[in-house]
Each structure stands twice: as structure tokens, then as C-alpha cells.
Structure 1
């Protein structure tokens, strides 16, 4: 076999895994951990594990589709491959763009929840959280317009920082659990019903959604036949393990009342029993860095999705135009993020984001099932992934209907709007 020259544009297995981990371990875990505990109580680690299983099944479908149809369009490409450029595929691809916007709102809300803690440390009066979350969205938008390379550098730095801090939190936290009386909260007697455990896992499913970013990088991965599936599997299961341990440490370290009181910044509060105020400060800073980098990266990703969908004639071609040498979708994405983040509560944003990605992943799993012969995939795995995502989506809507009616209305309205916009546009251009 001839020796090939090294291609500097290629992505190694390690880099591909980093893309998956970086996409998942963003602002999600900082935003939704407290929400998961409020729903699942002592069964929170199980809730994260449930969500991780669904993520791993979907990652299998993504790996097969990424090999068969390597394209920087990722999810958009897969859906169009399965259904053609129809009203249905356009609706789902539009939903993908909106789901990015919802995720951005979640990250911004988390930033707004953690930022006031820095003022508490100095004894100064803090400003309203909406000021912080609005400011960080504006700052990230300016950075995206200024330099995409800067966005990449910020993300690379943030991935290292947040992983070091979270792994240190896990290591110290596990050691600190021995002899902690709150460890009894993890007992089965403190678990919620299986329905609430499943719902808890689905509400926080947004913490796993970032693995699909590997699909966008698939065309550039070295030795894709071996490394694409490894990148998906290694990154997903690493994050599942990380999240489950973080959930165990959090529930085992703090009383439920304390977790409820600090729901929006519970990871910082969970660091207190181990490292005192220093731990609280370090985790707060980690949360701010993580959510800021996630906003930066998701703004770029969201603008690229809107650009790609418009190029595929599923949104008006005006979205392929540029403003200050960047896609106009970047500004639209930022404005819509500001609107949602300043309007909805954290639980409603998380519900809408999780439901959106569960529906999108259900469709991707179905495409993998439908094209199983063409992609050399195992039909049963993709079918099981489709059913799990669909059941989780329906379960989430039913359970949240009574406890978070606004969140259910938001996601159903988003889906309906995506359909109506696509239907009217297709009629208009045909």
C-alpha cells in the first residue's frame, strides 16, 4: 500500500470525538440538571441514563447515514435523502433551525442564571438576569460577525476548560460522597414513578443533542469507515457516563430543598460541600465559559442551517444573502433568540428544545430504517431508535401538558408554524 501524504484539512478520530463531546457538554448540563432533579428526584441518574440510551441508538443511525451520505449539511442532507425536497422534509429542516434557536435561548438563560452569582461573591448588587442573557447574545453575535476563526478558538479553549473542571468535580465529588448523609437520597425509595423518570430524562434530552455535529464533519474525517462510528459511540458514551456521575454527585451531596432553591445554578451549589466558596466560584466561571462558547458555536451552526435549507429551496432564497459578509440568517437567529430567551421560562425552553430534537431524531432514525439496505445498517436498531424517540416525544408532551402547559403549546406552535411556512412557500414557488 502506498504511503499517503498527510492531509492537514482532515479530522482525526480524536478531533472528531472532541467535536461530539464539545457539542454535548456545552451549556446543557449547567442549564437543566436542577430541572431534572426537580422531576426525577433520587432517580435523576437513571433519567440521564434513559436519555443516553436514546442518544446512543440515534447515534448509530447517524453513523450509518454519515458514511453513506457524507455531507456538511448533516441532518438536513439525511432528511432530504429520505423524503426528497417535500413539504414534510422542509418542515423538519425548518424545525431543526428553530430548535437551534431554542437551544441558544436555553444556553443564554443558563448564562443569565449563573452570572448574578459573581456579584454575590463581591457583595455588590446584581442586575436582572435578562440583562446578562441579552448582553451575551449580542456579544456572541458581534463575535460571529467579526471572525469565525475566533469562534473556533473560543470553542477549543472552552472544551478543555469545562472538561477539566467537570472531571475534577466528578473526582472530588465521588470521594466526598463517602459518609455524606444526603447519599440516602439516591435510594430507590426516593425515585419518582417510571413515567416521571422517563419524562425527566426527556426534558433534559437537550443536554445530549450536540453529537449530531459529527455528521457535519464526516466528509473530512480520516479513515471514515472505521472512525465515524467510533467518534459517535465514544463521544456519546463518554458523555452518558459523565452526566450520570455528575447526577449522582449532585443528588448525593445536596438536600433536595437546597437543589430546588438553587435549581438554575445547581452545579455551582453542588461544588460548595466539597470546596466551599472556592468551588462555587470555579463552577460558576465554568458555567459562564461553557454557556458562552455554546452560544457562539450554536449561532454559527444555526445560521449555516438556515443558509443550507434556503439553498435547498425549503426557505426563501433571501436567507442565502449576506449582511456584512455573513449569512443574513445569523442576525435573524440572534434576534429570535433574544425574543425567546426573554419571554419563556427555563422549563418551557428546555421542553421545547428537547421535544424538537426528539422529533427530528425520530425522523432521522426512520430514514436510516427506510434506507437500511443502502446504508448497510441494521434495521432493528434504527427502528428501535425511531420508536424510542417517538414514544419519548409523546410521553414528554403528555406529562408536560399538566405541569408545563406553556412549554407544550410552544413546541406544538413551532411545529405548526414550520409546516405552514413551508407549505405556503412551496405553493408560492411552484
Structure 2
């Protein structure tokens, strides 16, 4: 099924690549490097392989489905279970909120590295304040209907990728030609669980491509275009992440230990220092991070708003969240998503936010891979990628849980409580008719006994 004349392959790749590189590398690099050190590049490679297999599963499910859509549509079409589809949708919404909070956290961290910007004012830390303000700003922009066009997105994504690639190549050249220490790749650590656990944490950096499935009406020759965009954008993101991971670990080892969230700026300063432009190099990367994380908030908020609107139209979200008949994204939906994101970014740590978002996407991407595997006999679905996507996601979930339990048990228990609360609320909402019938039956029995 083809969509009307709209975005072509170049724009689709830009959207997918921008959704991944737009803020993920700036937000998760420090967390991932802190876990696995020199094998950071391998962690990104593992996560990318599982994400690509999940992308294959999405593409095949999209080709089999009788209507355009993403995860929620796939579950409804192939299982006929609206409750399960709604729970998948809610999980994704929480993942998008976690992603936006992660971007807002990183935006503030890099903003505070700019010359002359203090860490606090009158004893009040500025990081949470800046995070909340940037979320509020982009909620306001979306309320006004601001959105980059496809051509503008091409330019913006091209600039972001070009800065990171230039930084990576210059860093490699510095490491081999100038640095007195050899470049380390951590090959001896490839057989340990460290890179796999780090891959699970980094998984959130590979979300964004699936947003293409929610706006297929605006993409020319939607299904073949999306298929090509997925298969191009995910490997491209892997290459950028691997390059930046190797360079940052080798050029800024002290910064990774002391201030991992902004270690990229220290690495860029070291590269720029070779030609007397240390400050300019750090400033360029910081500005790029601000721009990238800000645009990622904007794009994710826009897409999540439309995703929520689709769920509202299917009665998979309460009416109080927004009006599905509204033109564009319902204002109330944007305000609700923005408020939850702002609160999360203000009170959460980057590690908690990153893990929370990663768990959401691990669960959903793994479920879609399993769904594709189940239908391997009914369509042209090769079982290998679907199995890798399913088993990889399941393994990531187990290892991520183990990592949290052993390193930060408070975070582990907090996420368990949050997951239990979310599932409880989902069941109360989706099974409300059954619960009302049960309550009425109990009331009738009670009255009969009087």
C-alpha cells in the first residue's frame, strides 16, 4: 500500500537517523562507557544488531498488516487483543516520555558546560531548572504548530551527523598520530558480560526509526520507502556510535570518571587543542549537543503526541488525555506529555531515566520480534532475525535487571514498583467494564442477602 506523494527516501532516512542520533549519543555515552569502558563500541554494535533485527520484524509485520500503523496496530491485527495492544501502547508512551526526559537532562548538562554558565544560582542547582524550561519551550513550540519540514530535517540531521563524524575521524587521527598512548579497543573484555549489560542500557539510543510507521500517509510509497530507511538508518547510527565511543573513551578517560555526562566536550577540546582551538572544539560539540537534544525533544514530542492521538481514537487512552477529533495533536495531550516529562527530568538521575526508557523499548521491540517469528509460516519472514530480536531483547532485559540489582538496588526496586503500578493502572483501565460488572454482581448479591 502506498502513501500519497510526500516524504521520499532521503527524508525518511533523515527522520529515522535524526530520531536516533538526535540526542541518544549525547545522553547515554557516559552511562555506557562507565559500565564497559574500552568495549563501549562493542556495546553499541550489539545493541544495533538487536535493533536492526527488531526493525526487520517491524518491516515484515507492516507488510502483512491490512492497515498502516506501528506496534499497537500490529498487536491488534495479529492477536485481536485490544487490552494487550493498549498495554503495548502505554509502554511505548512511557518509553517516549523517558527518552524526552533523557534528552532534557543531557541538554541541561551540556548547557552548563558553556562558558560563563554557572552550575547553581543562590544555592539552587540549575540542571533541573534548565531541563524543565527546555521541555516547556518545546511544548510551547508544538502548541504553536512549529515543525521542521522534510528539507529542513535533511539539513539539520546532516549537520549533526557531520559534526560527530568529523569529531570521530579527527579523534582517531589524533589517537594514532599525536597521542603518546595507543588507542584501546578493549578486545580482552569482549567475552565478559560488561558490553552486553552496557548494550542493554544503550538500547534507548536506537529508538526513533519506528516513528516512521506512525506517519505512513505522509511518506511516498510508504512500505518500500520505510523498509529501505530502516535498513540504512540503523547501521549508519551504529557506525557513528562506534566511532564516537572509541574516540571519547581514549581521549577523555578522566572526564568519563569525573563527569561522564559531558565527556564528549573534553574529548573535543583535546582534539582541538592540537591546532590551538581547544575551546572552540569543546564549544562546537556542546552547541551541537544542545541543538541535537533539543531537536530530539521536539521531534519525539510531536510524534508521541500523534501516537497518543491514535490511541485516543481507539479508546486506548482516557478521554481526559485529549480530544482525538482535534486537528493536529490535541493541546491537552501535549500538555500532559510535557508535564510528565518535565517532572521526570527534574527529579530523576540520568542513569534512572536511561534505564527506564531502555526497558520500555526492549520490551516492545522484543514483543514485535516475537510476533513476527510467530507468523513466519504465513509470510516471507526469515526466522533468524526475528529470533535474534526476540532472544536479544529478552537477554537485554535480564542482564539490565541484574545490572541494576547488583549496582543500584534502589533503582531496581523503584523500577519494579513503577512497572507494577503501570501494569495495575493499565489493567484497571482496559478491564474497567469487566470490573464494573463484577462490582455490580457483588452489590446485587449483597442486597439479596439483606
Secondary structure at the counterpart of residue 204 of structure 1: helix
Q: Which residue of 1 aligns with 2:116?
A: 122
**What 5-or-longer segments of structure 1 have no aligned partner?**
1-6
Secondary structure at the counterpart of residue 43 of structure 1: helix
2:84 to 66, 85, 88: 88
Q: What is the TM-score normalised by the length of structure 1? A: 0.90
The count of corresponding residues between Structure 1 and Structure 2 is: 421
Cα gap change, 1:218 to 1:382, in 2 (>3 Å): farther
1:258 to 232, 255, 260: 255
- Say whether the 8 Å CA contact 1:67–1:228 is kept in structure 2: no
Deviation at 1:185, TM superposition (A): 3.5
- Say whether the 8 Å CA contact 1:31–1:264 is kept in structure 2: yes
- Say whether the 8 Å CA contact 1:31–1:107 is kept in structure 2: yes
Q: Which residue of 2 aligns with 1:311?
A: 313
Give distance in 2, aligned partners of 1:103 and 1:369. Answer: 28
Q: RMSD over aligned Cα, in angstroms?
A: 2.5
Deviation at 1:231, TM superposition (A): 1.4
Deviation at 1:72, TM superposition (A): 5.3
Give distance in 2, aligned partners of 1:159 and 1:49. Answer: 21
Cα gap change, 1:407 to 1:312, in 2 (>3 Å): farther
| 1:339 and 2:336 are equivalent in the alignment | no
Deviation at 1:132, TM superposition (A): 0.9
Deviation at 1:83, TM superposition (A): 2.6
Q: What is the TM-score normalised by the length of structure 2? A: 0.87
Greater Cα radius of gyration, structure 1 or 2: 2
1:244 to 242, 245, 248: 242
- Say whether the 8 Å CA contact 1:311–1:320 is kept in structure 2: no
Deviation at 1:71, TM superposition (A): 5.1
- Say whether the 8 Å CA contact 1:352–1:408 is kept in structure 2: no
Q: Which residue of 2 aligns with 1:43?
A: 39
1:178 to 157, 160, 176: 176
2:231 to 230, 233, 237: 233
**What 5-or-longer segments of structure 2 have no aligned partner?**
273-277, 435-450
Secondary structure at the counterpart of residue 372 of structure 1: coil
| 1:381-413 CA distance string (max 9 Å, x none) | 212211111111111111211212243234333
Q: Which residue of 1 aligns with 2:398?
A: 394
- Say whether the 8 Å CA contact 1:44–1:247 is kept in structure 2: yes
Q: Which residue of 2 aligns with 1:34?
A: 30
Q: Which residue of 2 aligns with 1:206?
A: 204
- Say whether the 8 Å CA contact 1:155–1:297 is kept in structure 2: no
| 1:138 and 2:136 are equivalent in the alignment | yes
Give distance in 1, aligned partners of 2:67 and 2:139. Answer: 26
- Say whether the 8 Å CA contact 1:41–1:192 is kept in structure 2: no
Give distance in 1, aligned partners of 2:263 and 2:76. Answer: 40
Give distance in 2, aligned partners of 1:70 and 1:272. Answer: 52
Alignment of 1:266-281 (within 5 A): 266-275=263-272, 276-281=278-283
Cα gap change, 1:347 to 1:421, in 2 (>3 Å): same
Q: Which moved more, 1:82-91 or 1:332-341?
A: 82-91
Give distance in 2, aligned partners of 1:106 and 1:227. Answer: 29
1:363 to 364, 367, 387: 367
Deviation at 1:156, TM superposition (A): 5.1
- Say whether the 8 Å CA contact 1:107–1:292 is kept in structure 2: yes
Cα gap change, 1:215 to 1:181, in 2 (>3 Å): farther
| 1:100 and 2:111 are equivalent in the alignment | no
Q: Which residue of 2 aligns with 1:385?
A: 389
Cα gap change, 1:64 to 1:218, in 2 (>3 Å): farther
Q: Which residue of 2 aligns with 1:4?
A: none
